[in-house]
């Protein structure tokens, strides 16, 4: 029986996410066996520094890609939001699974259960490891203070509950749901309060770009709507040249053949911001096989089973929205944010 080796980070959430992808693959391929290979990444080891300060694009992916390159694993499961918009040569995202809740959630300290961010006392400290969340929420809730909190979900919840330092912390709703901790979600942040990160709530399966066998194997997991939304989001971020060190956020929706993309950029303290919405018509009907001369990758993603025209329209939407913001002066906001972040 053929054994497929699946790479993952060691955290409990990463293991749960990987198990869910393996379960979907087993349903498609009952004759295959899967072996899970867990490893620690740079981002798991450096826990005393804010993510945006480490200045490394592939914090949670590098070691996994190294194993993929050395043929120690055949595929790797990631949170899509951890995957840079430009992958190292030789790698591609071969599948994007159906997106779960992409929003952020607030988890409150036991003594503040029942509150919302709005009703927390003046100068309450809220923990988040993300510049994107801090910038948006500082602007919306000026009475709160935002402080970096690192570690996996278990560690962050323990810090919240046991130290008297934080009144609340902000986490991705999808992660809490996958861990079975829905009961801790005191508030879901909607786009008008806090837009989400590019790719948030979706899982990506990374493979070697030249491994046609694996691309065919995992390609069945592509969820067309999630794929197209995430291509638009990743193209937006790539064109803005945003990464972990600048506050960039998005919101996407598919409705009646239209893909809507809202994207925004913020200064670090949220005082300066710019956001716009654009839409594009997407047709997901005609099937189109790429010729061998086509480079199938768009923003690091290969999806031969989804119409190329639809993928290009989604990519174009992301680029157009980024260009619109750049023309209106977004580059200045991002440059200042980057310089301030580097200086701290």
Residues 252 and 336 in one domain: yes
Minimal CA–CA distance to 170: which of 209, 141, 199, 211? 141
Residues 336 and 250 in one domain: yes
What is the chain's mean pLDDT, rounded? 90
Percent of the chain with pLDDT over 70: 89
pLDDT the model gives residue 9: 86
Residues 269 and 319 in one domain: yes
- End residue of a domain, out of 188, 219, 249: 188
- Copy the structure tokens of residue 240: 């803005």
Lowest mean pLDDT among 51-65, 171-185, 232-246: 51-65
Residue 54's pLDDT band (cuts 50, 70, 90): very low
Residue 60's pLDDT band (cuts 50, 70, 90): low
Residues 90 and 114 in one domain: no
Q: Which helix (H) or strand (E) holds 281?
A: strand 273-281
The CATH number for 223's domain is: 3.30.160.40
Residues 76 and 34 in one domain: yes
**Residue 159 belongs to domain spanning:** 104-188
Q: Which helix (H) or strand (E) holds 24?
A: helix 12-28
Q: Which helix (H) or strand (E) holds 266?
A: strand 258-266
Kindly list the catalytic residues. Answer: 82
CA atoms within 13 A on the CB side of 26: 12
Residues 317 and 285 in one domain: yes
Which three-class secondary structure state does DSSP give residue 162? helix
- End residue of a domain, out of 188, 209, 244: 188
Residue 47's pLDDT band (cuts 50, 70, 90): very low
Residue 293's pLDDT band (cuts 50, 70, 90): very low
Residues 83 and 14 in one domain: yes
Instruction: Count how many domains the chain has.
Output: 2
pLDDT at 14 over 60: yes
pLDDT the model gives residue 62: 78
Q: How many residues does the chain have?
A: 344
Residues 50 and 139 in one domain: no
The CATH number for 148's domain is: 3.40.190.10
pLDDT at 30 over 80: yes
The answer, as to whether pTM is greater than 0.75, is yes
Percent of the chain with pLDDT over 90: 76
Maximum distance among all alpha carbons in the chain?
61
pLDDT the model gives residue 45: 52
pLDDT the model gives residue 66: 86
Examine residue 193 and state whether it is found in any structural domain, yes or no: no
DSSP 154: H
Residues 208 and 282 in one domain: yes
pLDDT the model gives residue 296: 76
Q: How many angstroms separate the CA atoms of 316 and 139, rounded?
A: 30
Q: How many angstroms separate the CA atoms of 72 and 78, rounded?
A: 17
Q: What angle do CA 123, 267, 232 make, to 5 degrees?
A: 120
Q: Is the dihedral of CA 280, 281, 285, 289 positive or negative?
A: negative
Residue 340's pLDDT band (cuts 50, 70, 90): confident
Q: How many angstroms separate the CA atoms of 102 and 215, rounded?
A: 26
What are the tens digits of pLDDT across the range 74-127?
999 999 998 889 999 999 999 999 999 999 999 999 999 999 999 999 999 999
What are the tens digits of pLDDT across the range 197-228?
999 999 999 999 999 999 999 999 999 999 99
What are the tens digits of pLDDT across the range 114-151?
999 999 999 999 999 899 999 999 999 999 999 999 88
Examine residue 255 and state whether it is found in any structural domain, yes or no: yes
């Amino acid at each position: 029986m053929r054994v497929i080796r699946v790479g993952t980070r060691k955290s409990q959430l990463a293991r749960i996410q990987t198990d869910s992808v393996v379960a979907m693959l087993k349903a498609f391929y009952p004759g295959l066996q899967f072996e899970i290979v867990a490893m620690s990444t740079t981002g798991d080891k450096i826990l005393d520094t804010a993510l945006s300060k480490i200045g490394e694009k592939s914090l949670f992916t590098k070691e996994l890609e190294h194993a993929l390159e050395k043929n120690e694993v055949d595929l790797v499961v990631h949170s899509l939001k951890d995957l840079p918009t430009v992958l190292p040569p030789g790698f591609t995202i071969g599948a994007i699974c159906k997106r779960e809740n992409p929003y952020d959630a607030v988890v409150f300290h036991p003594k503040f259960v029942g509150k919302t961010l709005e009703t927390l006392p003046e100068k309450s400290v809220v923990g988040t490891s993300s510049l994107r969340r801090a910038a948006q929420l500082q602007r919306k809730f000026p009475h709160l203070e935002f402080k970096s909190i690192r570690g996996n979900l278990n560690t962050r919840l323990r810090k919240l509950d046991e130290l008297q330092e934080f009144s609340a912390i902000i986490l991705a709703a999808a992660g809490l749901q996958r861990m079975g901790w829905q009961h801790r979600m005191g508030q879901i942040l909607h786009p008008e309060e806090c837009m989400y990160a590019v790719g948030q709530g979706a899982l990506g399966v990374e493979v070697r770009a030249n491994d046609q066998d694996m691309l065919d194997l995992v390609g069945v997991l592509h969820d067309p709507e999630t794929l197209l939304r995430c291509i638009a989001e990743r193209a937006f971020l790539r064109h803005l040249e945003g990464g972990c060190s600048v506050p960039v956020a998005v919101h996407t929706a598919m409705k009646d053949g239209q893909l809507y993309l809202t994207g925004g950029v913020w200064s670090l303290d949220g005082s300066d911001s710019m956001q716009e919405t654009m839409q594009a018509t997407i047709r997901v009907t005609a099937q189109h096989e790429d010729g061998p001369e086509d480079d199938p990758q768009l923003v690091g993603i290969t999806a031969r089973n989804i119409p190329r025209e639809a993928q290009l329209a989604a990519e174009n939407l992301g680029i157009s929205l980024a260009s619109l913001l750049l023309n209106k002066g977004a580059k200045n906001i991002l440059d200042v944010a980057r310089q301030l972040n580097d200086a701290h």
